[in-house]
Structure 1
């Protein structure tokens, strides 16, 4: 009988024996033009491809991924924001949608304008609405980046307009984008949207992104960046099968940024494989029900994609309800097994009984 939750931890610092399925044959390591680059496994945060990944450079409008997450953290759905005289003076990112002082936008419309059309004035409006000034907002940006794990970044502007003190690394930018992918579905959706209609207090406008990554195979979202100082930058989220990768390049050209990420991610997919640390029917635990040993087996196998020869730890946890039981049927669920890679859950399955234990007969 169990009257409390039991959790068993098995830390596996080696590949668990089980079925292993290669994703692709290994490809040659690509040589790219972009000066700074990285590909990260979105599932675990593990780096697959690197080139000067810890060198600081200017992210330009990739910054807006971080601004978008803070927007979702700090502003309620449907809340309206007002463009100030300062916000509308920001350098234009496009020729047809510029805010006017006093114009209002909802959180949802601002998110789309920020990530589809990369509006610098919208970014400034968001910053002022949340923190009253861009300088105050930069403190929130740096706090958020630090919480995510970005160790070599410092953000000054909400839009990525140039400042010598505004910098990141491709590794940090991949971590920031991974956070958006894992925890901010609205941000991810906007990053993958090519065209949307937005409404302000004064007009309704259809916004369309010119970013070429929208036509690339397997790309589910991205964000471009450019300033004269930074040159071209790009982050993409690329999904193929059960593998999702995040590719980032900085100090590139418009055409090479797209080509390089395609080459980097194609190579990185070839360096991944699917493993099954927990198989269906495998006995995961044994419990005692009225002095009877009851084996619990895994109902559904758990598989996930990982870097070949990864050294990151895999953890398997069994957990059980607090409620005590005095009987159990064959096939009855009791508890759950979960699999974790580098601290993030990558799969789960119910545990089911293989033995029947009946209630005691009434007297």
Structure 2
């Protein structure tokens, strides 16, 4: 009975905070004669725009929820969007101390011949049998989509393209890319080199969250290697100031592809369009998806990291209560006008026994809408609770036995 009371109180507490944070709605315009009634944010979300392509989706970067999509798990050739996976591997290996920005990367003859200016693909222009700092080589790959730079980086990080591809697949599995397989770092056609719109969005989300500096290179509009200056092929960087990435791709088999991301306020969306018919079409469709998502969905921060949102009884501790909060901010993305309909719930053990470490997971908090879980995070102890002395522990042992009935 007591646990139900505690849970109800905590739920009411969360709802109170959520309602307190709800922005005051604007004053509606005065209706004009013969004018159409103003649109209401409480109306159902309209269908997304029509997209030209074999597969596409729009994902909320905060929660990972897919807001709209078609053929999201169809395996397709990722073309040069593959280089986002290459960037992820480099960033992860750098974080692990395996490579550094200042490493001198050799533009090998193999990289130059298979990905350089003599090929039909995009290239960066680093001189053959010459070295350049890893950071410069990576920007040549990201901004210019240089196949030569991607191959040179793969050889530097793993010793060979095949070994680097094995790393790509290992990191893809960690990210949760269940339907992807990579055979090279460039995205040039290769047997079994496939991914999906869902997997690529998961990759973008992981790069944004885990390695923001590496992600930031995607917002660079042009890059110069030697005497060659090339623009970023993502034209949305010029169209929309909120767009800061990510990557284009094209082969005759893959069609025109674009993975984009934009942030407006606290809200970040990721779009993936695969197999489009032209550079213009992939950009137009990606822009339409992003605009639709920002117009009809909104992101709210419910709780900051480290802020107390609940308190729970502790047995056998120097303190009798433990403060519970979150280790990371909790944000949710919902259809506009439905923020007040969120249903927060908490699941906390009824019997907590000291000692409790700071940051220890105690329970979970869920945020639901229409019976579906929008977000779920572990509740953690904001501060440690040390074990009490002998006599208090003994007394609490008796009380716990008594209350167990």
What TM-score results when the alignment is normalised by the length of structure 1? 0.74
Task: Report the 3-state secondary structure (helix = DSSP H, G, I; strand = E; otherwise coil) of the residue aligned with 2:209.
Answer: helix
1:149 to partner: Cα distance = 0.5
Q: Count the aligned residue pairs.
A: 324
| Alpha carbons 1:21, 1:274 under 8 Å: kept | no
Q: Match of 2:281, SS?
A: helix
TM alignment of 1:210-359, pairs within 5 A: 210-217=233-240, 218-252=242-276, 253-275=278-300, 277-278=302-303, 284-285=311-312, 304-308=331-335
SS at match of 1:86: helix
Task: Name the structure with the higher strand share.
Answer: 1
The answer to which of 337-346 and 204-213 deviates more is 337-346
Distance in 2 between the 1:147 and 1:226 partners? 26
- CA contact under 8 A between 2:85 and 2:203: conserved in structure 1? yes
1:209 and 2:232 equivalent?
A: yes
5+ residue gaps, structure 2: 1-6, 26-39, 94-98, 368-373, 384-405
Greater Rg by CA: 2
* 1:98 to 1:293, Cα distance in 2 relative to 1, 3 A: closer
Long gaps (5+) in structure 1:
1-8, 325-335, 352-363
For the structure 1 residues 283 and 63, does the alpha-carbon distance in structure 2 shift closer, same or farther, using more than 3 Å as the test? Answer: closer
Gap change, CA 1:119 and 1:323, over 3 Å in 2 = same
Q: Give the conservation status (yes or no) of the 8 Å contact 1:37–1:51.
A: yes
Question: Does the CA contact (< 8 Å) of 1:303 and 1:347 recur in 2?
Answer: no
CA distance in 2, matches of 1:285, 1:272: 34
Residue 108 (structure 2) aligns with:
84
Deviation at 1:219, TM superposition (A): 0.7
When residues 86 and 241 of structure 1 are mapped into structure 2, their CA distance, relative to the original with a 3 A threshold, is: same
How do 1:173-212 residues align onto structure 2 when only pairs under 5 Å count?
Answer: 173-197=200-224, 203=226, 206-212=229-235
The 1-side partners of 2:63 and 2:294 are apart by: 14
Which structure is richer in relative contact order (CA contacts within 8 A, separation 6 or more)? 1
> Deviation of residue 222 (structure 1)?
1.2
Work out the CA distance in 1 between the residues paired with 2:343 and 2:224: 43
Question: Which residue does the alignment assign to 2:186?
Answer: 159
From the two aligned structures, give the one with the greater helix fraction.
Answer: 2
Map of 1:357 onto structure 2: none
Superposed CA RMSD in Å reads 4.4
CA positional deviation for 1:153 = 1.0
- Cα separation, partners in 2 of 1:293 and 1:166, compared to 1, 3 Å: closer
1:162-191 superposed Cα distances (whole Å, 9 cap, x missing partner): 124211110011011111111112221111
Residues 104 and 133, structure 2, Cα contact 8 Å, conserved in 1: yes
Decide whether aligned partners of structure 1 residues 350 and 53 sit closer, same or farther in structure 2, where only a CA change above 3 A counts: same
CA contact (8 A) 2:77 2:194 kept: yes
Asked if structure 2 preserves the Cα contact closer than 8 Å seen for 1:235 and 1:247, the reply is yes
Distance in 2 (alpha carbons) for counterparts of 1:103 and 1:160: 24
**Residues 159, 317 of structure 1: CA spacing in aligned structure 2 closer, same or farther, 3 A cutoff?**
farther
Structure 1's 21 and 83: CA in aligned 2 closer, same or farther, altered over 3 A?
Answer: same
Counterpart Cα distance in 1 of 2:233 and 2:319: 66
